[in-house]
Structure 1
Amino acid sequence: MKIKQLGSFKCIKKQRTLSLLVMFFCFSFFAFGQNVSVQRTNDAEETGQVAGSFRISRTGNTFTGLRVNYTITGTATNGTDYASIGGSILIPVFNNSINLDIDGVVDDTLIEGDETVIITLSENSEYNINPLAASARIIIVDNEPVCATAPDAPELRTGEETTFCDSFTKDLNDYVASATPAGTVLTWSSSDDLLDDSSYYDSSIIGFSGEFYGFYLDEANNCVSPPLKITIVQNSSPTVTGTSDSRCGEGSVTLTGTTTDGSLLWYDAPSGGTLVHTGLNFDTPSLSVTTSYYVEATANGCTSDRVEVVATINTQPSSGTGTDATACSLPGNGRVTVVNLDDQLTGADTGEWTLTSQPASSSITIDANSVDFANQPLGEYQFTYTTTGFVAPCTAESTTITITVLDCAPTDTDLSVTKIVDRDEVFTGEDVVFTITVENLTGDPVTAIEITDVLDETTGFEYVSNIAQLGSFNSATGIWSIAELAAGESTSLEITATVIDGGTHINTAEITSSNPVDTATANNQSSATVAIKQIDMSISKSVNKVTATVGDVVVFTITLTNETDGLVTDISVTDILNSTTGFTHVSNTTTTGNYDATTGVWTLDEILGNETQVLEITAMVLEEGTHVNTVEITDSFPIDEANVDNNIASVAVSIEPRSNDECGFMFNQFSPNSDGVNDFLRINCIETYPNNTLTIFNRLGSEVYSVTNYQNNWDGTWKKGDLPNGTYFYVLDLADGSEVKKGWIQIIR
């Protein structure tokens, strides 16, 4: 596209005494809104590739540049029938117009008739559009030969539908308004090459989409009219499905629709009705009763049938509010041993009681919602009331109450706990053994004892196993439960755990429950401390060549060392070799682990204390310059954070330029004018690569020359004779395992 500046306006200061007046006139004349217009200045022609031109003008202020936006339409294709143009143009400062040229007109061999380019100005807050000059058209005159008797193109009958839903049948002749000239036949083709009779349709009746070219064919004179192009679009009606939903109680329900294409429309009736929502998910208004909605999908002018989707509203029953209570195991003397469970519940709908949990060896039963705890084991008994008669998605509601059974013979109780660890300094990942000992210091048995010792990631440990002399340990809750400890008796629990992170960890065991309650709390807690030793790994890197040329192979050696005596696992070392770093991976070897050339990560399952592992990477140099290649320890367990300075290493390789004397170097300019000097495209040592392939392309990407076993003998000719002067592009494969070469050449005749 060529742009010409047309015209300018200047306010000229005539005399010093008139300067203020002139400045006021200029400002007043140009400081307000600008009007823009467009007009044709000349048409274009395929013959001689004559360019066409529009002129875009403005009135008003010229003290600033003005960018004018426009749209491009017409029968000619932007970027195909002529050089591509953008969607806006800048009128420079102090200029009131500019030319928009339609150049690069393509002189093709198609009989397509005259084509048009239409420019229509677009609205913008910076200017107003002159309504009488908002659009302009130029014609690209077709120069393809037609016979003297060729009629005009068939005339389009407007109003005929070209877009259809699902299956259809259409007569292409319906799109023609003009009568068929004598001696011709209205013919339809799938190709814009109107003389290609292999593309002609046998019938004008179609039931499929595509581009159809209608023209008048004079078979006697082998002559055709310009074509009428019809584009038929066939769309499929979308398929829609709906997913109903329900809830408990009044509120909004989310209904979901899915479709193969297009947008979803929700209605309150199976037909007609009111549109209530658009989109995939419909959050209904608050509903108190079950309600049906209907969803349909529309895409490309095609609408599906409506599908019913139901929002169901159910009633949620309540299990009420429960109140805990206590009871006595020892009967007599007015002690309460019977509890009516219904008395512990208020505001409940219909339901039933179940025994949820109880101390070991208890034998209670629920009789008419009452429970007798006489002579039953001490402890907590949990009873759950669950509603019945609910409808999904409503669920049963439950309320749990706890009845704590006491012996009702109060006494002072004193339990003591102590905790020790077998090793107080370890590496992360090693195991330690804690020993917890509890002792009953009173003269009466104590039951329902619970000692809590939590071992999880929040405490820096991971549970492995346990051995309890008495009772059982729940690793999930961290509770050691002992049913009964006789007077003066002691028992121990050993817990094996793995240290999972660094730092110093203090682990505590605490008596959290007993019956009777331990009121002497000074000795109810004991702690053990474990300090974590830090690991340290180091990385180093070297290269066998610090200088090289493009295409050379270099070998990087990466050495990973565990500087401590602890085991390290799950190690990742990153060394990326790609075009960005100037190298490409060829091969690698490791003493252990695997190197992924794509991600650049060397992974090792483990490295022992004071052990060294090595990775060697063979790489090819891709481009000139100085390339710094870096390797880094990026992950491990435990994390190497004690000394990060030795976790990264780099090496630099200087890449020198290739010489034009080396084999495979292409001299990319030659002058095939038969003067005996530089008449052929030459490649150094090409004869040493007998399996080479060479392909040449023009600037449009079309192949103009291709050969296997090139022998420095191409003189710039192709099937149609000498190629014109200009720049071309080549792809050269020497077939020796080296990278395929790409670049440009220039023919200068």
Structure 2
Amino acid sequence: MKIKPHINILLLFAFSIYNFGHANSIPNPPKKGVTASLTKTHSLADNAPVLTATGNQVYCPLTNVNIVTSISISDPDTVETLIDAIYIQISSGYVIGKDKLSLNTTTTPHPKVIADWNQNEGKLTLKGTGAPMSYADFENAIRDVQFNNSSTTPNGTRNFSISIGQANYLPRNGHYYEYVPFTGISWTSARDAAEIRTYYGLKGYLATLTAADEAQLAGEQAPGAGWIGGSDAETEGVWKWVTGPEAGTVFWNGLSNGSTPNFAFWNNNEPNQAGVENYAHITKPGVGIPGSWNDLQVAGNPSGDYQSKGYIVEYGAPGDPALQLSAFTTLTIASISSTTPASRCDPGTVTLQATATSGTINWYNELTDGNHIGTGSSLTIPFLSTNTTYYAETTTTNCASGRVAIEAKINIIPTIINTNSPATNCGPGLFTLTATTSSVGTVNWYSQVGGSAIGSGLSYITTHISANTTYYAEATNNGCTNSIKVPVDIRVYPLPVVINETVKKCSSSTITLDAAIPNISYLWSTNETTQTIDVSTTGIYTVDVTSQAPESCTNRKTITVSEDNKPEIKNVAVNEATVAIELVKSEDYFEFSIDGINYQNSNVFNNAPSGLQSAYVRDINKCSTDNEPFIVIIVPKFFTPNNDSFNDIWEVKGLAEYPLGEVTLFDRYGKLITRLNHSNRSWDGTVNKNPLPASDYWYILKLDPNSPELKGHFSLKR
């Protein structure tokens, strides 16, 4: 084996720096004031190896398939050289826990090679057992690397990148992604460190993940969490890529319920902008969605799940040299990738469709075995009367995929066979409409013959309806209908008209209560069933009145029976000819009289005649009465003793009713003139037969010794 000495030295120097294929391994980011030249290593673009591979194949379930059919590793400057390791990455489509790469040593042993499978990263590392190995040894090993999926029904496509460098390679865009562990590094330091890293002449930058396959390869399949090049430090809530070729591209607006004009892969409820969290970081494994993003402060947290653990460097930009450090191949899993079931109304012809990732599609009538009934992307059944499941599989040269069920549905067109028409209700309200169909299916409801359906189901509750109307029922089965709308009449029956009453009865008497609607059915709260009932006690009585069939509508009348209070006279106040009857408790339904014949609502009487009389009070129903005697005393204002038979004497009318009554008369100077009493009730204007002059005279009236004095004056006119 010949190795160019200067090439050998250069390669050994390069890989001692790259540590099994890493780019510039910088233990710490550059500090302020330190130039980049102090931390950069030599570029290897001039003598980078070249990898080429073929092997785009079809994978059959539960098999082991070599990922390449040919592989070549060469160097522009030498015939043969040595390298430390080869890295084979499932770069897209990786299903953790099911996909696996392994080195097959059954047919050809590879004693010099150690194969290390990292399930979390989806990466297989091949390296020598002791010293670096030749290209040829690695080529032989790569030819025996196999892919396997443990599922019986795998799907999709797997892309494999085969690289000399340890950075993950994404064939779609030709970029490399390297995770650099550095616990506690800040975002700004990570950005600066990423920008001075190179990978075989490719300039690095803090990763910008603009598509799902990038996010999976650089995040979910990375060996740890780290900073990426997104930030909203410039404008709060507007997240941009601020590194690499995508600098300035907005990928998110707002908080966790925001929107994205481009690809974004935030963790649950992120970004939440807690504190000053302006920088994007791939979430720690085990926290939320694998490989998703979180917003952190520039230095992250001092410890815990949100402490910065490192950063992701992306290599690849317009103008970078075109390298062939990596080769890639593809396995397409033979599977039915999509199906189109068929359905129709009533029996007839149906056509099923399917597409496959590769191979020829065959159709069967059973999941296993059964009859082969067709080939191609579609299957037409000339006549089908019941729901039937068919099965499609794709067949390649080496294998057949699992069969996929595709249903052909026959929806029998139903009819309405019964409704609850007419739907009735006593008075306005909600109506429940029902209908049954001839077979499977349900019912669409309409408020008119045309227009859109207002509801569906075997029953429907209307809105408030106050007048007779008609709704319509249409039978349907998965969109299949005969377009016949069956009317369902709605009838609003009137309720019997009742008027609640309050009636009064006399104490210890009965009263007749009347439902007041003839020729219907009655049910009183006393369980009586006649139109009228007699009751002797006060209280609230109800009667349910029900109209005749077919309406049979019931309404309830309430009659309140009460008794009036008994009237009770407290006092009869007499002021000359004005009399006021005062009660212990007044009520609106009491009426008054002072002759026992003529009654009035007012308790005050004017111009009452003099003498002994009685005051009367009763309730308007004449259930009870009370009376009290009283006397009206009328004192004349003047008298004219001229013997003309008019006002010739001064007399207090009614004094005769008071045996102990006394009236004392005085002149204007207070001189006693005479006394009047029960037996001497009048004065003729003389003293000792001598006429007194015309003047004002005074009196003091007492009806008995215990009654108060009543004082006044009158005139004697001549």
State the TM-score, normalized to the length of structure 2: 0.28
Greater relative contact order (CA < 8 Å, ≥ 6 in sequence):
2
Query: Of the two, which has the highest radius of gyration?
Result: 2
Q: Which protein has the bigger strand share? A: 1
